Amino acid sequence: MQPNRIQQLLALQYPPVTLSFRDQAPEGVSRIPGGAPAGCGYWKRAAEGETFYTEASDHYGCPVGAYTHGIEMPPETAKELEGLIGVMTDMEYVSMEDVQALPRRTAPFRVAVYAPLGQGAGEADVVLIRGNARQNMLLAEAAHLAGIGSQSAAMGRPACAVVPETLRSGRTATSLGCIGNRVYTGLADDEFYFAIPGDRLDLLTEKLETIVHANQELEKFHRGRVSAA
């Protein structure tokens, strides 16, 4: 299957991004030069063409993201997370029940490899697609046809929780994003995320071919009915 086939089928502005958790950095892949305010900022860099890996300390800038990715935090970062959660609960943005229910990776975090689809080393753990409502509609229909569609509602904040949720369920997941992600990645108001288990990517792409063709034919049918009315 062509690595960029999904991008072609959906006319995506940005290529899908692959995220892989590894025990050590792949040969020939460099560590990200400098950290980022939030781990989801690395999604943007990969979508813009960069291939790189991160270590745990590269994620300390966002305690929430570090938590969802299963990163052991130093005391000062853990304290920052506690304070941030306190602020968000005081604003009634989240409740303690929300925090306790957040998906989280349980495997030890060593390195995470980010790349545009087709440029990563080895099979991805999660593939992240940034798209609009129509594009994500087609992906959801393809996932259903493939038998790997999400069995839960679209996820809200934080956007990074879609990664451990996809790993946990082995199924696709939709994230509506969060305000932090929209600031750090430039996610447009009409865009959100669709996450695919890496080992299901070829299956979903195959079903997406079918779904895109079916929608094209059905659109002609429905437009014909409107014109005839």
> Tell me: the pLDDT tens digits for 62-82?
888 888 999 987 777 777 767
Percent of the chain with pLDDT over 90: 70
Measure the CA–CA gap between 51 and 129, rounded to whole angstroms: 16
Q: What tokens were used for 45?
A: 């860099």
| 195 φ, ψ (degrees, to nearest 5) | -110, 140
pTM over 0.85: yes
Q: What tokens were used for 70?
A: 């299963």
Q: In the structure, what pLDDT confidence band is assigned to residue 3 with cuts at 50, 70 and 90? A: low
The rounded mean pLDDT for the chain is 90
Give the helix/strand (H/E) hosting 66.
helix 63-68
Q: In the structure, what pLDDT confidence band is assigned to residue 121 with cuts at 50, 70 and 90? A: low
Q: What tokens were used for 203?
A: 């299956």
pLDDT at 52 over 90: yes
